[in-house]
Structure 1
């Protein structure tokens, strides 16, 4: 079954037609992002266009585009194997139409290759599915991408990404909580904009039993600022706070938590479809 967008094709059209002076970053809601450099290289990170699993997991924001409307992409990066980060109906049509490569840790690639068998259902080759791990670096057009550790107890093998460009550096932490390695990452890179998952604690039906269960998937205010401070990000962009019913949060509350820290120097509040520039 195809994905239906609430917004038609205006967002992928806006991305395709954009001519940034540096690097443009669009927030797709949930934990999804698009980066486009001044030379046109376009990278998607964790794009998810699904509806969740109602009534247990309910999407609270629009589906911003249909994957078949994406005509230009060079890579998709996946941070870990969860469905809102690796999702065939959201991502395989982009690979099929653009010839882009899909990069992810072993568990993420296994979902695409074995569990969902993208090559059987879409015109996607096995060569497009590329396994990466912590310590790897690779180039995609004008970007240099470094695979770094992450700490997500709910995932089997999560990673984070540092995306370097001569105009600036973007960090995507996936759904990571504060990690012991973040201080070293912050020392090694000069991170201009960092995206970290933020949410509240809510009561969700348990996946197997359906019993209402206290659930915490993302950083709270203090954890988010701990991670951002360790990473020494100049600008902090909270993500994921908008997505799931019962786990949504108010990112403006982070102003109070951030004001006494040296990092982040600035808090960026972006809504789905918004563009920022490095």
Structure 2
């Protein structure tokens, strides 16, 4: 029998985190993707697990870290991109609001870890370590600065692939296409707090961030990373067939533009000629949280007048989306169970208890 005197902070943490244990790891491993389809799971923030009919597994932007854990001195870290953007002084109250739905160190059979850009809620050392240790043949694919970070962390160079817009990498049956990113927050990210960016040419986007198109036998998935809205989405939509697009949605605080708005999400989908648009990232930060149902309401308001050829899809973290099976669904809900109610005789004193 358990005894409170044996309980410590350490065994509490080990017995509790990650909150979902290996539940989702097991689900993904067991799923056999049907021919003509492609499956994805949302892992939080912009992290997704992509699985093809041919059993190719790609992990993109999985982040296993935390936001603020202490009030500290109450001030923003000097040189932080949000400080550079708006001249703020007070600490950004970005608390992580999602549980960890996957155990990174129970990950196996990943063929590639793909990362969109340099920010730490996308480029994560825990994910890199788990994939490196558990999946010795996995490729590490990202723009130059992402790969440089992996190399500093100890990932062998021969496992890495540097990509820039226009590059294609074959990961078994999936083709990973790197495309231009439009993450203006990344452009003002600089680790040196003494460096002044005003009056100087910005760094090159292609070195620090890319968007991706994953071409699969079941459909093509466009991952926009943390891109803001860009007119160039229309060029990507002209050049590529895009079935599903994912964009970083959120409620931007006063003086900040870091996430796509509901209007931007719809414009992005229209420009990309996508069939489904899925907002992500709105789940993770306490100070950027937004209600994705706003996107559905706005879509309903506009769709007939503007002849939208796409539908929005409101996901939940840990949930599965299969294209094209779910392309006409508007919302995800977890399996509720109890399909086998009364398959066996119930055990209550009287039927009136029911």
TM-score by length of 2: 0.70
Instruction: State which drifts further: 190-199 or 92-101.
Output: 92-101
* Residue 284 of structure 2 is aligned to residue 243 of structure 1: yes
1:143-222 pair list within 5 angstroms: 143-156=174-187, 157-202=208-253, 214-222=255-263
| Kept after mapping to 2: 8 A contact 1:228/1:263 | no
Query: By how many angstroms is 1:95 displaced?
Result: 2.2
More strand by share: 1
Q: CA deviation at 1:263?
A: 4.0
Which residue in the other structure is 1:12 paired with?
Answer: 25
2:139 to 93, 101, 106: 101
Provide the C-alpha distance between the structure 2 equivalents of 1:226 and 1:10, rounded to a whole number of angstroms.
36
Measure, in 2, the Cα distance between the counterparts of 1:193 and 1:232. 9
In structure 1, distance between residues paired with 2:99 and 2:26: 17
Judge which range, 75-84 or 250-259, deviates more.
250-259
User: Which consecutive aligned stretches of 4+ in structure 1 deviate over 6 angstroms post-superposition?
Assistant: none
Aligned to 1:71: 108
Aligned residues: 261
Q: How far off is 1:32 after superposition?
A: 0.4
Among 40, 52, 62, the residue aligned to 1:37: 52
Which runs of 5 or more structure 2 residues have no equivalent in the other structure?
Answer: 1-9, 71-92, 188-207, 324-354
RMSD after superposition: 1.8
Distance, in Å, in 1 between the alignment partners of 2:228 and 2:318 is: 25
Give TM-score, length-normalised by structure 1. Answer: 0.89
Alignment pair present for 1:267 and 2:312 = yes
**Shift of residue 264, structure 1, vs aligned partner:** 5.4
**Between Structure 1 and Structure 2, whose CA radius of gyration is higher?**
2
Alignment deviations for residues 230-264 of structure 1 (CA, whole Å, 9 cap, x no partner): 11110011000100011100001101222324445
CA distance in 2, matches of 1:217, 1:264: 27
Native 8 Å contact 1:236 1:264 kept in 2: no
Query: Which whole-Å CA distance do the structure 2 matches of 1:14 and 1:40 have between them?
Result: 14
